[in-house]
Amino acid sequence: MGSLLYYALPALGSYVMLSIFFLRRPRLLHTPQAPAFCPHLAAHRGGSGERLEHTMEAMENSMAQQADLLELDCQLTRDGVVVVSHDKNLSRQSGVNRDVGSLDFEELPFYKEELEVYFSPGHFAHGSDRHMVSLEDVFQRFPRMPMSVEVKEENEELIHKIVDLVRHFDRNEITIWASEKSSIMKKCKAANPEMPFSFTQNRGFWLLLLYYVGLLPFMPIQERFLISFLPTIINRTYFPFSCPGLNQLAAVVSKWFLMRKSLIQHLEQRGVQVIFWCLNEESDFEVAFGLGATGVMTDYPTALRHYLDNRGAAAQAS
């Protein structure tokens, strides 16, 4: 036992030192891919706190605030049109208890006159534009605007139609694949491997495991984006569980595991851009950028633009 410790402890110490060294200097082992764009201001559902979610009016408003990225969710209609919609069922959005896939595009109902902002409970968005829009119309209106396209179901027809639109509008480098499920992301990458993609939930857990066991500096990373919730919003504006006790536990545990500046700096140096969602208060903006995040995803692009402009002015003054 003594001889084992004699050799094991120095080996373990050397491993830890090497891991820390390369965690801080990842470019000695990896050549990062230069990003096509750097999103500091990402508009959640097109900017769903200031106008009705996923409408052209919301996106135009976000563009007026110099948004760098539009976050969109996609569904497929019965007649094969890729529509920008968060929900599969239209009850919450329009009051019509029908799935998007059961209707033709021309049959889609209007949005309600007001919609509660999911990450700002008790706050409601309004707008004069209540039309649901197709992804093709969005690409046509904003041809060079970076967008994150989230696919929520294993619908290969939907995935391939998104690919066709991305290629038609020459958007390979500025359209991000996003999905929580690795099985869906696998199909997305197979359909168009040229598009950058974000971490899924499983890959996010794997990333954290590699970080904490010290192997992350030595492992390849294919993802170009880590789009993650900010733990401090749990139990305040984000309630992942119905039980308050579980939300409190999730807030404490995820804060300890995720809010590591050294992890975010390592990812940034390797060309992985970190975006925290969905932040609607200045105090949360401050926490996210204080950790070294590339950007923030928000329902309120005007508030984030105001914060970024003031932050830039303060940095110049100092």
Domains of the chain: residue spans and CATH: 41-317 (3.20.20.190)
pLDDT tens-digit readout, 91-126: 999 999 999 999 999 999 999 999 999 999 999 999
Identify the pLDDT of residue 33: 84
pLDDT tens-digit readout, 198-240: 999 999 999 999 999 999 999 999 999 999 999 989 878 888 8
Separation CA 306–CA 304 (nearest Å): 5
Whether 4 shows a pLDDT value over 80: the answer reads no
Residue 295's H or E segment, with its range, is strand 295-298
| Over residues 254-266, mean pLDDT | 90
Mean per-residue pLDDT over the chain, rounded: 92
Identify the pLDDT of residue 5: 47
Separation CA 81–CA 78 (nearest Å): 7
| Axis crossing angle, helix 182-191 with helix 201-213, rounded to the nearest 10 | 100
Whether 7 shows a pLDDT value over 80: the answer reads no
**Pairing status of strand 114-116 against strand 82-84:** unpaired
- Of the pLDDT bands very low, low, confident and very high (cuts 50, 70, 90), residue 34 is confident
Whether 1 shows a pLDDT value over 50: the answer reads no
- Of the pLDDT bands very low, low, confident and very high (cuts 50, 70, 90), residue 72 is very high
- Of the pLDDT bands very low, low, confident and very high (cuts 50, 70, 90), residue 3 is low
CA 84 to chain centre: 16
Residue 167 phi/psi, 5° resolution?
Answer: -70, -40
Identify the pLDDT of residue 52: 98
- Of the pLDDT bands very low, low, confident and very high (cuts 50, 70, 90), residue 298 is very high
Owner of token pair 């919003």: 233
Looking at residue 238, what DSSP letter applies?
Answer: B
Identify the pLDDT of residue 279: 96
Other CB atoms within a 10 A radius of the CB of residue 6 amount to 9
Among 73-87, 112-126, 253-267, the least confident range: 253-267
Whether 6 shows a pLDDT value over 60: the answer reads no
Assign 291 to helix, strand or coil. coil
**Greatest CA separation found in the chain?**
77
- Of the pLDDT bands very low, low, confident and very high (cuts 50, 70, 90), residue 74 is very high
Entry pTM: 0.92
Separation CA 161–CA 166 (nearest Å): 9
